C-alpha cells in the first residue's frame, strides 16, 4: 500500500458512493413536489388577484429542478464532473512530468556526490570500503591513533548521513500525509454534497431557499477544485526541487569546494514550507470559485497547518538536539 494507492482508493470510494444519491431522490421529489405546488399556486394567485397575465416561463423553474432531481447522478453530477475532470487530468499530467524529472535529477545528484567524495583522497575512505581497507593495510601498529581516528570519522559520517536521511524521510512522509489529508477531506465533502444534493435542489424550489441551489453548486465546484490546486502546488514544489537539484549538480561538476550539507539543510526547510503550504489549498480554491460558508473550513485547516508545522519543526529540533547532545557526551 502506497500513497498513490490511497489516492486511487479515495477516487474509487467516491464512485462507489454515488448510487446513494438515488436513495435521496425519492425524499427530494416529495419535498420538491410540495414546494412546486406552493410555488406555482402563489404566483398564479398573485397574477389573478392583480388581473395580470400569467407569466408561464418562471413557473417552469420547479419542473426543471424536478428533472435534475430525478436524474441527479447523470444530469447534475455527470455534467459537473465531465466538465471539471479534464482540469484534474491536465494538472495531474503536469505533476507526473515534474515528479519524473525530480527523481531523475535526484539520482544524478546522489551519484555525483558519491563520485566527488570518491575522487578526494581525504574523503574517499568515508564512502568506499575498498579504499578504507587499503588505507588500513598501509598503516602499522604504531599508527593506532590514526586508525582509531579513521574509524571515528567514518562512523561520524555514517551517523550524519543516517540523521539526514531520517529527517528527509520523515519530512517527505509528512509532506505526503498532508496531501493525503487534503484528498480525504475533499472526498468526504464531495460525497456529502453528492448524496444530499437532491435535498438541496428540492429545498431550492421553496421561496426563501432559492440561493440553496447556487450555494450547492459553488461549494461542490470549489471542493472539486481542491485536487487540481493541490496538483499545481505539488507541481510548483517539484519544479523548485528540480531547480535546486540542477544547481547542486552544476556545483558538484564545476566547484570542488561545494558543500552539499548546506543544500540538504535548505531542502529540509523547503519541505517544512511545503507541508504548511498544503493546508492553504482550500483558501486558494475559494479564490477561483467564491463559495459562501466555506470560510470556517479554510480557517480550521490553516490553523491545523500552523500546529502541524510547529510540531514538525519542534520534533526535528528536539531530535537534532538529542543527537548532538549524545555526540558531545561521547
- pLDDT tens digits, 266-296: 777 777 888 888 888 888 888 887 755 444 4
pLDDT of residue 1: 58
Q: Could you read off the pLDDT of 186-238 as tens digits, one per residue?
A: 889 999 998 888 899 999 888 888 888 989 999 999 999 998 898 888 888 88
Q: Could you read off the pLDDT of 95-146 as tens digits, one per residue?
A: 888 777 777 887 888 788 777 777 766 667 667 677 767 776 676 666 667 7
- What is the C-alpha to C-alpha distance for residues 87 and 92, in angstroms, rounded to an integer? 9
Q: Choose between 156 and 215: higher pLDDT.
A: 215
- What is the C-alpha to C-alpha distance for residues 53 and 224, in angstroms, rounded to an integer? 43
Mean pLDDT of 289-308: 50
Burial profile 62-77: b = 16 or more Cβ within 10 angstroms, e = fewer: beebbebbeebbeebb
H-state helical runs in 50-143: 61-70, 78-119, 124-127, 129-138
pLDDT of residue 262: 67
* pTM score above 0.95: no
pLDDT of residue 286: 84
Give every CB contact of residue 202 below 8 A, 6+ residues apart in sequence: 27, 28, 29, 30, 31, 32, 35, 65, 69
Q: Tell me how crowded residue 54 is: count the other CB atoms within 10 A of its CB.
A: 12
Sign of CA dihedral 234, 236, 242, 245: negative
- What is the C-alpha to C-alpha distance for residues 223 and 281, in angstroms, rounded to an integer? 10
pLDDT of residue 142: 61
- What is the C-alpha to C-alpha distance for residues 317 and 117, in angstroms, rounded to an integer? 28
| Cell (9 digits) for 205 | 424550489
Nearest to 69 by CA among 37, 21, 20, 36: 21
pLDDT of residue 221: 92
| Cell (9 digits) for 37 | 405546488
Per-position DSSP letters for 223-269, written without gaps between them: HHTHHHHHHHHHHHHHHHHHHHHHHHHHHHHH-TT--HHHHHHHHHH
Q: Binning pLDDT at 50, 70 and 90, where does residue 317 land?
A: very low
Provide the mean pLDDT of the chain.
76
- What is the C-alpha to C-alpha distance for residues 309 and 303, in angstroms, rounded to an integer? 10
Mean pLDDT of 256-261: 68
pLDDT of residue 220: 92
Give every CB contact of residue 276 below 8 A, 6+ residues apart in sequence: 305, 306, 308, 309
Q: Could you read off the pLDDT of 57-68 as tens digits, one per residue?
A: 778 888 888 888
For the chain, how big is the Rg over CA atoms in Å? 30
Q: Choose between 319 and 81: higher pLDDT.
A: 81
- What is the C-alpha to C-alpha distance for residues 271 and 309, in angstroms, rounded to an integer? 10
- What is the C-alpha to C-alpha distance for residues 4 and 37, in angstroms, rounded to an integer? 49
- What is the C-alpha to C-alpha distance for residues 317 and 141, in angstroms, rounded to an integer? 42
Give every CB contact of residue 155 below 8 A, 6+ residues apart in sequence: none
Q: Tell me how crowded residue 162 is: count the other CB atoms within 10 A of its CB.
A: 11
Q: Binning pLDDT at 50, 70 and 90, where does residue 316 land?
A: very low
- What is the C-alpha to C-alpha distance for residues 167 and 159, in angstroms, rounded to an integer? 12
Amino acid at each position: 500500500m502506497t500513497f498513490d494507492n490511497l489516492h486511487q482508493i479515495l477516487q474509487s470510494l467516491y464512485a462507489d458512493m454515488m448510487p446513494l444519491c438515488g436513495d435521496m431522490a425519492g425524499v427530494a421529489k416529495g419535498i420538491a413536489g410540495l414546494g412546486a405546488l406552493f410555488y406555482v399556486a402563489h404566483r398564479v394567485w398573485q397574477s389573478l388577484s392583480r388581473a395580470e397575465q400569467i407569466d408561464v416561463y418562471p413557473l417552469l423553474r420547479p419542473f426543471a429542478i424536478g428533472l435534475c432531481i430525478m436524474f441527479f447522478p447523470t444530469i447534475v453530477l455527470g455534467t459537473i464532473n465531465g466538465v471539471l475532470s479534464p482540469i484534474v487530468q491536465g494538472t495531474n499530467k503536469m505533476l507526473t512530468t515534474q515528479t519524473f524529472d525530480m527523481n531523475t535529477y535526484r539520482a544524478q545528484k546522489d551519484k555525483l556526490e558519491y563520485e566527488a567524495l570518491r575522487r578526494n583522497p581525504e574523503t574517499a575512505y568515508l564512502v568506499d570500503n575498498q579504499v578504507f581497507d587499503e588505507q588500513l593495510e598501509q598503516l602499522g601498529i604504531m599508527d593506532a591513533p590514526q586508525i582509531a581516528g579513521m574509524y571515528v570519522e567514518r562512523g561520524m559520517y555514517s551517523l550524519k548521513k543516517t540523521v539526514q536521511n531520517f529527517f528527509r524521510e520523515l519530512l517527505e512522509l509528512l509532506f505526503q500525509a498532508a496531501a493525503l489529508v487534503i484528498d480525504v477531506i475533499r472526498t468526504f465533502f464531495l460525497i456529502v454534497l453528492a448524496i444530499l444534493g437532491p435535498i438541496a435542489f428540492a429545498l431550492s424550489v421553496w421561496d426563501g431557499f432559492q440561493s440553496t441551489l447556487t450555494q450547492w453548486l459553488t461549494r461542490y465546484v470549489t471542493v472539486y477544485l481542491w485536487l487540481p490546486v493541490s496538483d499545481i502546488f505539488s507541481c510548483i514544489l517539484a519544479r523548485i526541487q528540480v531547480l535546486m537539484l540542477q544547481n547542486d549538480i552544476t556545483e558538484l561538476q564545476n566547484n570542488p569546494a561545494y558543500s552539499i550539507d548546506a543544500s540538504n539543510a535548505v531542502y529540509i526547510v523547503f519541505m517544512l514550507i511545503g507541508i504548511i503550504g498544503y493546508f492553504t489549498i482550500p483558501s486558494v480554491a475559494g479564490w477561483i470559485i467564491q463559495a459562501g460558508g466555506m470560510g470556517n473550513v479554510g480557517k480550521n485547516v490553516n490553523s491545523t497547518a500552523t500546529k502541524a508545522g510547529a510540531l514538525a519543526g519542534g520534533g526535528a529540533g528536539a531530535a537534532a538536539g538529542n543527537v548532538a547532545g549524545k555526540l558531545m557526551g561521547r
